[in-house]
């Protein structure tokens, strides 16, 4: 059963009520993580697993799928997700655009570039609703008209993109402003149903025959060319929902990690506890998104600590004049230092089990914009403080309207209405320029993998990130050699 796109997940609050968090601002010395460690003293583990992935967003699920698919028949992978449903945080609050890596050179762009293909193939085989016929117009007012003479649809980059003059762009999108002097037409892009991807990954992790029974044969995270890695076989995958990680310790004697889990935690008053148990794991992957930095407190040295600046992105929906001819995603030129991609126009994909359509008349959105909402000291005091910022900011209606009118002058900004907002888990301060993803696995913390800063294009890059991290675990923890035979399959 495929999941369908559910706007309900994007309303101003999360579907399950979070635990009551202290509202007063704490002095930096008494961080939330330190208070948690006091409240949950060390408990020796009573069970053991091979891999424990923290976070059931698209990143954690992709890593878990990669581990289940490739780390071997006898290995058990646990995913622990604090919400009662998977993918309810950043994974449910984004633009769902499959990016092509055209916005810069970075781990994110490289993964996105490689993964655009994998995601499209994987979604085709696994029947995740997505739209592949879409194109993106990326408008660049810095292009001079002479540059436009380059147009002639030359394409010698790895990104499938073509320079267009302003007039060529307006031939495709007549609603565009006369001020637009040039554009980049990106032909391999699309919109993916993020909840459908989450549902598919859930089945890939837990159901042994899900991939092999999907059309197109066996093709999962980490398994290229339609074949399982030779000699490994599938392991076991278990997803535990409604359970949060409250503490991680290095194992006293041994090479593993001891993770404390609390279920029944939602809605508790401060000082109350749910059911707590302790699990030993050889490998812990921290893919807790906006909660990832706080979980590392006490485990990494001060000079290695990552700081988080959560940044809100508002989306406004639009019904009105000036967009009746739009048939593509339209991005303005990214900001000068590429710290965000610009307030773009997004069309919404409607899915059911058999088809997708774009409803251009009723479902045009503009966003996300950039609204800083806090600093690392806010995260330190309460890593969930961002939950108070989930309603789209009405005060940003005007600036989003102005940004949109620069490339679509016919729109009427008074017809914009607040829709939803997402929070970027940024690990560099606003204005600092492009911030890449961070995947860290240090020899002195063997078996503890940190995945942080997965802002855009994290959704596009998820399956590649899962493949990369599961390969890293096989190599660095389990001592497996790279599967050269597997690599060779693509060249046959
Ligand atoms: C406004 C916006 C627009 C974006 N647009 C795009 C786009 O168009 N294309 C694209 O490719 N990417 C886009 N992205 C990026 C993409 O949404 C993210 O990179 C991706 O969803 C991150 O997934 P995640 O699994 O890391 O985080 P999440 O989805 O937040 O998952 C983390 C999970 O960890 C859980 N968790 C946290 N703490 C704990 C704990 N202690 N114990 C157990 N579980 C815990 C949370 O409940 C959550 O489910 C956008 C992001 C934003 C904010």
Region 122-142: mean pLDDT is 49
Query: What percentage of the chain exceeds 70 in pLDDT?
Result: 69
Question: What's the confidence (pLDDT) of residue 357?
Answer: 40
Ligand 1 atom index nearest CA of 295: 41
171-225 confidence digits (pLDDT tens): 888 998 888 877 777 776 777 888 988 998 999 999 988 876 654 555 678 876 4
Region 26-35: mean pLDDT is 75
Determine whether the shortest distance from the Cβ of 458 to ligand 1 is under 6 A. yes
pLDDT category of residue 3 using cuts at 50, 70 and 90 = very low
Question: What's the confidence (pLDDT) of residue 403?
Answer: 85
Output the six-digit token pair for 484: 């050269």
- CB–CB of 367/314 below 8 Å? yes
Determine whether the shortest distance from the Cβ of 148 to ligand 1 is under 6 A. no
Determine whether the shortest distance from the Cβ of 452 to ligand 1 is under 6 A. no
127 has pLDDT over 60? no
Length of the chain, please? 492
Determine whether the shortest distance from the Cβ of 383 to ligand 1 is under 6 A. no
Q: Among 213, 237, 259, which residue's Cα sits nearest to residue 70?
A: 237
Q: How confident is the prediction for the chain on average, in pLDDT?
A: 78
Question: What's the confidence (pLDDT) of residue 487?
Answer: 46
Output the six-digit token pair for 406: 């620069």
Question: What's the confidence (pLDDT) of residue 406?
Answer: 85
Give nearest CA residue, ligand 1 atom 14: 456
pLDDT category of residue 351 using cuts at 50, 70 and 90 = very low
Checking DSSP bridges between strand 329-331 and strand 130-131, what pairing results, if any? unpaired
Ligand 1 atom index nearest CA of 60: 25
Give nearest CA residue, ligand 1 atom 19: 458
Best of 52, 91, 114 to mutate for ligand 1, by most ligand atoms within 8 A of CB? 91
Determine whether the shortest distance from the Cβ of 111 to ligand 1 is under 6 A. no
290-299 confidence digits (pLDDT tens): 999 999 999 9
Decide which of 448 and 73 is more confident: 448
Determine whether the shortest distance from the Cβ of 342 to ligand 1 is under 6 A. no
Question: What's the confidence (pLDDT) of residue 397?
Answer: 93
- What whole-number distance in Å separates Cα of residue 210 and Cα of residue 279? 28
Give nearest CA residue, ligand 1 atom 2: 94
What backbone phi and psi angles, to 5 degrees, belong to 372?
A: -60, 135
283 has pLDDT over 90? yes
Determine whether the shortest distance from the Cβ of 33 to ligand 1 is under 6 A. no
- What whole-number distance in Å separates Cα of residue 439 and Cα of residue 436? 10
Determine whether the shortest distance from the Cβ of 450 to ligand 1 is under 6 A. no
Region 425-451: mean pLDDT is 90
Question: What's the confidence (pLDDT) of residue 173?
Answer: 85
Determine whether the shortest distance from the Cβ of 83 to ligand 1 is under 6 A. yes
Region 13-40: mean pLDDT is 63
Region 437-451: mean pLDDT is 95
Domains of the chain: 27-129+193-306+434-489 (3.50.50.60), 135-187+308-426 (3.30.9.10)
What backbone phi and psi angles, to 5 degrees, belong to 405?
A: -65, -20
- What whole-number distance in Å separates Cα of residue 197 and Cα of residue 206? 14
Output the six-digit token pair for 231: 């000699």
Lowest mean pLDDT, pick from 124-128, 313-317, 419-423:
124-128
Ligand 1 atom index nearest CA of 451: 26
Region 16-28: mean pLDDT is 42
72 has pLDDT over 80? yes
Question: What's the confidence (pLDDT) of residue 299?
Answer: 95
pLDDT category of residue 409 using cuts at 50, 70 and 90 = very high
Question: What's the confidence (pLDDT) of residue 55?
Answer: 98
476-486 confidence digits (pLDDT tens): 999 987 655 44
Burial 35-48 (b: 16+ CB within 10 A, else e): ebbeebeeeebeee
Determine whether the shortest distance from the Cβ of 455 to ligand 1 is under 6 A. yes
Give nearest CA residue, ligand 1 atom 42: 244
147 has pLDDT over 80? no
Determine whether the shortest distance from the Cβ of 55 to ligand 1 is under 6 A. yes
Question: What's the confidence (pLDDT) of residue 141?
Answer: 44
Decide which of 317 and 57 is more confident: 57
Determine whether the shortest distance from the Cβ of 456 to ligand 1 is under 6 A. yes
């Amino acid at each position: 059963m495929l999941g369908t796109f559910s706007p309900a997940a994007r309303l101003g609050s999360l579907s399950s009520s979070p635990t009551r968090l202290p509202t007063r601002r704490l002095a930096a010395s008494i961080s939330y993580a330190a208070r948690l460690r006091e409240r949950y003293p060390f408990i020796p583990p009573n069970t053991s697993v091979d891999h424990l992935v923290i976070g059931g967003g698209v990143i954690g699920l992709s890593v878990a799928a990669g581990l289940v698919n490739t780390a071997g028949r006898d290995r058990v992978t646990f995913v622990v997700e604090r919400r009662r449903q998977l993918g309810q945080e950043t994974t449910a609050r984004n633009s769902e655009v499959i990016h092509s890596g055209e916005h810069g050179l970075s781990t994110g762009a490289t993964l996105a570039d490689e993964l655009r293909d994998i995601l499209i193939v994987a979604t085709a085989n696994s029947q995740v609703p997505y739209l592949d016929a879409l194109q993106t117009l990326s408008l660049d007012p810095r292009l001079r008209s002479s540059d436009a003479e380059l147009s002639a649809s030359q394409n010698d980059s790895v990104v499938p993109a073509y320079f267009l003059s302003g007039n060529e762009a307006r031939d495709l999108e007549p609603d565009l402003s006369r001020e637009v002097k040039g554009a980049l037409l990106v032909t391999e892009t699309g919109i993916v149903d993020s909840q459908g991807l989450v549902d598919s990954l859930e089945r890939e992790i837990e159901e042994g025959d899900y991939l092999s029974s999907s059309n197109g044969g066996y093709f999962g995270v980490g398994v290229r060319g339609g074949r399982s890695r030779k000699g490994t076989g599938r392991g076991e995958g278990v997803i535990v929902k409604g359970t949060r990680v409250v503490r991680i310790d290095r194992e006293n004697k041994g090479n593993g990690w001891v993770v404390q889990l609390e279920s029944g935690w939602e809605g508790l008053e401060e000082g109350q506890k749910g059911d707590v148990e302790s699990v030993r794991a050889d490998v812990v992957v921290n893919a807790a998104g906006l909660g990832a930095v706080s979980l590392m407190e006490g485990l990494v040295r001060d000079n290695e600590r990552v700081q988080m600046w959560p940044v809100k992105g508002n989306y406004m929906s639009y019904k009105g004049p000036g967009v009746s001819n739009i048939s593509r995603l339209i991005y303005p030129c990214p900001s000068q230092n590429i710290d965000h991609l610009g307030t773009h126009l997004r069309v919404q994909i409607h899915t059911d089990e058999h088809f997708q359509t774009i409803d251009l008349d009723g479902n045009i959105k503009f966003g996300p914009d950039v609204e800083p909402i806090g600093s690392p000291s806010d995260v330190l005091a309460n890593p969930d403080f961002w939950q108070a910022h989930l309603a789209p900011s009405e005060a940003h209606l005007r600036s989003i309207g102005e940004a949109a009118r620069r490339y679509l002058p016919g729109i009427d900004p008074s017809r914009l209405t607040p829709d939803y907002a997402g929070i970027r888990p940024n690990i560099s301060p606003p204005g600092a320029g492009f911030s890449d993803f961070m995947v860290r696995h240090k020899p002195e913390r063997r078996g503890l993998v940190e995945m942080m800063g997965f802002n855009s294009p994290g959704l596009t890059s998820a399956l590649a990130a899962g493949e990369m991290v599961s390969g890293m675990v096989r190599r660095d923890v389990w001592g497996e050699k790279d599967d050269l035979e597997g690599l060779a399959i693509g060249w046959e």
